[in-house]
Structures are given as C-alpha cells and as structure tokens.
Amino acid sequence: MKFIIYPETDAYFNLAAEEYVFSTLDKEQEYIMLWQNANAVVIGKHQNTLEEISLPYVEEHNIQIVRRLTGGGAVYHDLGNLNYTFILNVQQSEINFRAFSQPMADALNQLGLNVEFSGRNDLILDGKKISGVAQYIKNGRVLHHGTLLFNSNLNVLSNVLNVSNKKIESKGVKSVRSRVTNIADYLPGMTMDEFKEHLERTFMDELKPERYHFSEKDLAAIRELRDTKYSTWDWNYGKSPEFDLRKEFRFNEGGVTIYMKVNAGVIQEIRLYGDFFGNGDISDIENKLQFVKLREEDVRNVLRSLNVGNYILGMDADTLAKYITD
C-alpha cells in the first residue's frame, strides 16, 4: 500500500489526481490519499450542476465548481475540510459504504470522539454530519473517498448549496446548516495540521504503507487530465436539457430528477439527474428509453433488460418505470 500526501489545493488538479491514481498508476498497488481543496463545490457524478449551486454566490466568491467520478450530493470544500481517498483492489461489484468508512471512524475515535456511521453514507458526531462518503467501482478496484469537516466555514456551505426541500424534509431537519458540525468544536486547541498528522500517523502505524511522491511524469499526466477534463465547462456543467416534463422523487438511497422531451406520447429525450449512487453509466438507461412510448408497460419492459440497480443503487426496473410514467 502507498500513502500519498501532497500540498496542491486546486480542486481541478485534485480530482484529476484521484482519477489518475485509480485508473493509471500501478494497479497492483493500493493507495491512501489525504488532500485539501481551496474554496470549491464538488458535484456528484449524476447531478445537474446549475440546480445544485447558487451561481451568483459562486461567481461573487470565486468558488471552483468541479464534478467528481462518484455519485451522491454536492459538497462544499475549503481549507478547513480534509479529504481522504482509499483506492483498493476488491472482489465485490456492489457499493458498500459502511465497510470502507469504519477505518476512518476508528481513527477519529482514537481522539476521544464518538463517531458513528449513519444513514446511507454519513459519519456523524453528536448526531450531526462530519463526513459524507462516496464510491466508484470499476474493473475490480474501488475508489472510496470522503470529506472531513474539521473547521470549515459552515455559513458559506449553507449559502453556496441549493439543497432540495424534498431532501431536507426527508431528513426531518430545517436546513443544511443544522445538519452538519465541525470536528474542531469537539477538539479544542487542535489545529488542522495536528489533525492531519494524527490521521497520517494512525494509518502509517496500522497499515504500514510506503510513502509515495508524484513523479514529474505523474504530475504531467495529472495536469493534462485537469486541463482536458476536470477544468472544462462540458464536464462540470454540461448541457442543460430542454424538456417538456420534469419529475422529482426521493427514495431510500437518494433522489432522482427526470427530464423528458415527449412528442405524441413518445419519449424523444430523457435525462436522469440526482444525488443517487451507482456504478453504471446512466446514459445506458437514457439511450434505451429514447423513442419508447411513455407508457408504464413499455418503459418497464425496456428497463427490465438492464440491471437498473447497477445504475441507481436501491432502485429496480418496475419502480423506476412507475416514477417515469406517473
């Protein structure tokens, strides 16, 4: 196992670095990464960016917007937030948040905290969220990453994100600000550097990884990926769909917003956005449904030819067909 810590705080670079380590760097190796972003909003793979952020606030405060490889919801990063990534070789093909979150919970609890895994993908402290995690699985490898709110500016967090009322209502709380807390509030006197050093020391002692420093070849490849993908409008925003119908629903594993362009009862175009998780390319579902009659039986028959749960964790063909056609 290799341990990678580096000082870059550019969000475009850091998301490119994750993908590079996952997809290109020695695949026989496993990796731990600790990294930080300056002011940025990191968008889930399946989200419609312009619906997730307050664009005037983002532009006024010069906040980077970058889309990640994994599903889930949008998160705000600043230098009071520490990010971690585990890249491991696995036999499984299904997302499992709890198993990969426990080592981080254990490391935090060594500081005298009482951190627990809760809900679909959160670490909580005193009933409030301090970390959200996400996963991407491909070709026998898993990328599991998460945030750690140490002393982040929670006021900016609440101003920059447009959180769906449906999501807030489903959690029984009044606002995104009331759902989160900073770890530093429970560790008076500890600095971010000391916090990072604790995690580094814990994983070095327990996992015995070797330190890895990006070579000039690595850095050049990461910068190219940053410039051609992670800093581009197409990746981070994409084309907003033209649509006649918009439907939104939440279920146990997340939320889905459906956009459709329909002509004479036939789906001309469909797009699925949301904070859901899944490993498949959602465009597989969208392409299959093009030119299908907007009728539950027809949509269901098409969806049954796919493993819908691979694309939207916790969803099945019959339920999705009903949501699309109701």
- Domains belonging to the chain, first-starting first, are 2-236 (3.30.930.10), 245-325 (3.30.390.50)
Residue spans of beta strands (DSSP E) within 188-234: 210-211
Other C-beta atoms within 10 Å of 197: how many? 12
Instruction: Copy the structure tokens of residue 36.
Output: 């930080």
Give the whole-angstrom CA distance, residue 54 versus residue 187. Answer: 32
Contact status, residue 246 vs residue 41, Cβ threshold 8 Å: no
* pLDDT at residue number 164: 52
Give the whole-angstrom CA distance, residue 228 versus residue 18. Answer: 15
SS3 category, 266 = strand
For residue 288, give the amino acid letter.
Answer: K
The DSSP call for residue 314 is T
Each residue's pLDDT, cut to its tens digit, for the chain (326 residues) gives 999 999 999 999 999 999 999 999 999 999 999 999 999 999 999 999 988 999 899 999 999 999 999 999 999 999 999 999 999 998 877 788 888 888 899 999 999 999 999 888 899 999 999 998 999 999 899 999 999 999 999 989 888 987 654 543 434 333 354 488 999 999 999 999 999 999 999 999 999 999 999 999 999 999 999 999 999 999 999 876 678 899 999 998 899 999 999 999 999 999 999 999 998 999 999 999 999 999 999 999 999 999 999 999 999 999 999 999 98
Torsion from C-alpha of 229, 254, 250, 287, nearest 10 degrees:
40
Give the whole-angstrom CA distance, residue 94 versus residue 68. Answer: 19
* pLDDT at residue number 167: 47
Q: Which helix (H) or strand (E) holds 123?
A: strand 122-125
Residue spans of beta strands (DSSP E) within 177-244: 210-211
* pLDDT at residue number 163: 62
pTM of the full predicted structure? 0.88
